[in-house]
Structures are given as structure tokens and as C-alpha cells.
Amino acid sequence: MATIELAGLELHGFHGVLDAERRDGQRFLYDVWLEVAEPERDEIEAALDYREVVAIVREVADARAYRLLESLAAAVADALLERLAAERRGREQVAVVSSDTAVLGTSGIEVRKLSSQTFLAELARPRQAAGPRGDLRDRLDPATLAALERLRRGR
């Protein structure tokens, strides 16, 4: 896997809590990290096209106004996971920073999303203890087992 970073993608958007932010809009900076498979050959068709990533970020940002940076960043990360070819990516990390002068340099949100394929691959397989099963039937004598079986069958 290789990590691709698209830092400082600047887009104008109408997101924010304040009416003025949503009315006038403001500059948003996006940093996107993508963990992708290394291309098999030196051709754009075999690799992740950065233009596609930028188009997805722009489309999500332009589709609607978000009040919270967290919601905007999560929507961008979800769209990247959903729309990029599964064989080309494993996890996405998106950071969105507002240009609001009151909080510039101190606010922003980072969202990390895992594809289901990566999540499942990272799950640890359950370990099963070696040795005899711990069933109750292993601890009962044959007469008791027979009596329980009769009860189970309604006889």
C-alpha cells in the first residue's frame, strides 16, 4: 500500500453555523490522505487519478451546506470510500479546516474511515482452545443423557 496525500485543496463553500458563513460563503482547506494499492504499471489507468479525488471532494462540498465541519468531513470521506474503486484504496483520512478568521489555525476536523474490506482484513480471527469441547453432555453419565433425550422428545 502507498499513502497519497492531497494537501491544501482550497474550495469555496457555504458551510458553517453562522448565517453569514452560509450566506456569503468562505474558503475551506481540505487535506485528504488515501491509502491505495501501488499501481501494477506506470499508467494513469492503473493508478488512482487525483483529479477524480478532487472532483469527488468538490461535488460533496457543493451538493449541500453543512453546519458542522465534522459532517462535511464525514460526507467527503464516505463519498471517497463509496466511489473509488475498492481495489485501489483501503482507508481514507480527511481533514477540513475552515477559513473563519476567529478560529483560523485552531479549528478543523479530521475524520478517518475504513473500507469494509480493510476493516474485515484487520479483524483478528477468534482463537479456539485446543482440547475437548466444554459441552454439558461431556460431563453427564449415559443414563442422565438418555433421560434428558427422552424429555426433549416428549416421552
pLDDT per residue over 103-127, tens digit each?
Answer: 455 556 666 666 666 666 666 666 6
Q: Read off the pLDDT of residues 128-139 as tens digits, 9 standing for 90 and up.
A: 666 666 677 777
Per the model's pLDDT, the better-predicted residue between 136 and 80 turns out to be 80
Distances 127 to 11, 90, 124, 130, 135 between C-alpha atoms, Å: 49, 25, 9, 9, 18
CATH code of the domain containing 10: 3.30.1130.10
144, part of any domain: no
The pLDDT > 90 percentage for the chain reads 14
The pLDDT > 70 percentage for the chain reads 67
Confidence of residue 85 (pLDDT cuts 50, 70, 90): low
Residue 86: is its pLDDT beyond 60? no
- State phi, psi for 7 to the nearest 5 degrees: -105, 140
Q: How many CB atoms lie within 10 A of CB 145?
A: 12
Number of H helices, E strands in the chain: 5, 4
152, part of any domain: no
User: For residues 112 and 122, what is the distance between their CA atoms, to the nearest angstrom?
Assistant: 15
Cα 143 to the chain's mean position, in Å?
Answer: 56
134, part of any domain: no
Range of the domain at 9: 2-122
* Number of domains present in the structure of the chain: 1
Written as nine digits, the cell of 57 is: 471532494
HEC readout, 105-139 = CCCCEEEEEECHHHHHHHCCCCCCCCCCCCCHHHH
Confidence of residue 102 (pLDDT cuts 50, 70, 90): very low
The pTM (predicted TM-score) of the whole model is: 0.63
Residue tagged 479525488 (cell numbers): 53
Q: What is the mean pLDDT of the chain?
A: 77
Confidence of residue 54 (pLDDT cuts 50, 70, 90): very high
Residues 6+ apart with CB under 8 A from 68: 17, 109
137, part of any domain: no
